[in-house]
Amino acid sequence: MLAKRIIPCLDIKDGQTVKGVNFENLRSAGNPVELACRYAEQGADELVFLDITATVENRKTLVGLVREVAKVLDIPFTVGGGISQIADVEALLEAGADKISINSSAVKNPNLINDLAKRFGNQCVVLAIDTNFFENAWWVYVQGGRHRTERLLFDWVKEGEARGAGEILLTSMRHDGTKGGFACMLTAQVGELVHLPVIASGGAGKVQDFIDVFGAGKADAALAASVFHFGEITIPALKNELKRAGIGCRHTILG
């Protein structure tokens, strides 16, 4: 089995880390720089920073805060929120990001995927997809989960790969923040459609959930927020349990 990745996620609103349930009822989860430093020290494989209100508020990602977070990291760093053109990506990469995540802007202008992949390379472009089940189908949602589009998830996943995305960050809105487990069946279905790494997001509540998403879910990486932010699961303990289950992670645990 290939090495898997554990990825804490910083959802940012008004310069602070927040977390909710099903994309609603947000509560403060701490200082993003302090959390980033903690996760890097604990052995996280990567870190994701999502400015979750940038698109809704029609503004750019908080580049200054990205720069401060990047200073305390020595692991791959993905940034998303409010990215709609090449200049936005150039600013974020200059600030210390390694990869960028696009969501609403890619749905609005799919050619953005092509343009960014051509300019920065496929490995730099993460296509983030928020999805929910409605009327017997999985649909793509944008604007921080506020708006259901006319795009079906499985069609969009395949189109994203064809246009040059290097990874898929898949968030099941109905699982997000519930701590009831990842959408393993859905994650596996997406993985079977593309030849790209799939990052599972939404639903982590216990160690077994990670074991399940790497097994039945066939995920390449698992992203989580609240269980890490509030100390319910620590990354070293999680990686030790994954190792016992025969699942290796990219970064080994020291000590």
How far apart are the C-alpha atoms of 51 and 95, rounded to whole Å? 15
Query: Annotated active-site positions, please?
Result: 11, 130
pLDDT band, very low/low/confident/very high, at 61 (cuts 50, 70, 90): low
Q: How does the average pLDDT of the chain come out, rounded?
A: 90
* Farthest-apart Cα atoms in the chain, separation: 50
Residue 225 DSSP SS3: coil
Mean pLDDT to the nearest integer, 66-94: 94
Give the pairing type, strands 125-134 and 99-102.
Answer: parallel
What's the pLDDT tens digit per position in 192-213?
999 999 999 999 999 999 999 9
Mean pLDDT to the nearest integer, 55-66: 70
Backbone conformation region of residue 22, classed left if phi is above 0, alpha if psi is from -120 to 50, else beta = left
How far apart are the C-alpha atoms of 48 and 225, rounded to whole Å? 10
CATH architecture of 5-244: Alpha-Beta Barrel (3.20)
Cβ-in-10-Å burial (0-12, 13-18, 19+) of 27 comes to: exposed
Question: Which amino acid would we find at residue 117?
Answer: A
pLDDT score of 12: 85
Higher pLDDT, 52 or 71: 71
Q: At what angle do helices 153-163 and 111-120 cross, to 10 degrees?
A: 30
Mean pLDDT to the nearest integer, 1-23: 78
* Number of residues that this document lists for the chain: 255
How far apart are the C-alpha atoms of 141 and 132, rounded to whole Å? 7
Determine phi and psi for 151, rounding to 5 degrees: -90, 130
Helix (H) and strand (E) counts in the chain: 10, 12
How far apart are the C-alpha atoms of 162 and 170, rounded to whole Å? 17
Share of the chain above pLDDT 70, in %: 89
* Domain boundaries defined on the chain: 5-244
Residue 243 has pLDDT above 80, yes or no: yes
pTM: 0.91
Mean pLDDT to the nearest integer, 105-120: 97
Give the bridge partners for 127, in sequence order: 102, 168
pLDDT band, very low/low/confident/very high, at 255 (cuts 50, 70, 90): very low
How far apart are the C-alpha atoms of 145 and 130, rounded to whole Å? 6
Q: What is the DSSP letter of 218?
A: -
pLDDT score of 25: 44
pLDDT band, very low/low/confident/very high, at 254 (cuts 50, 70, 90): very low
pLDDT score of 250: 78
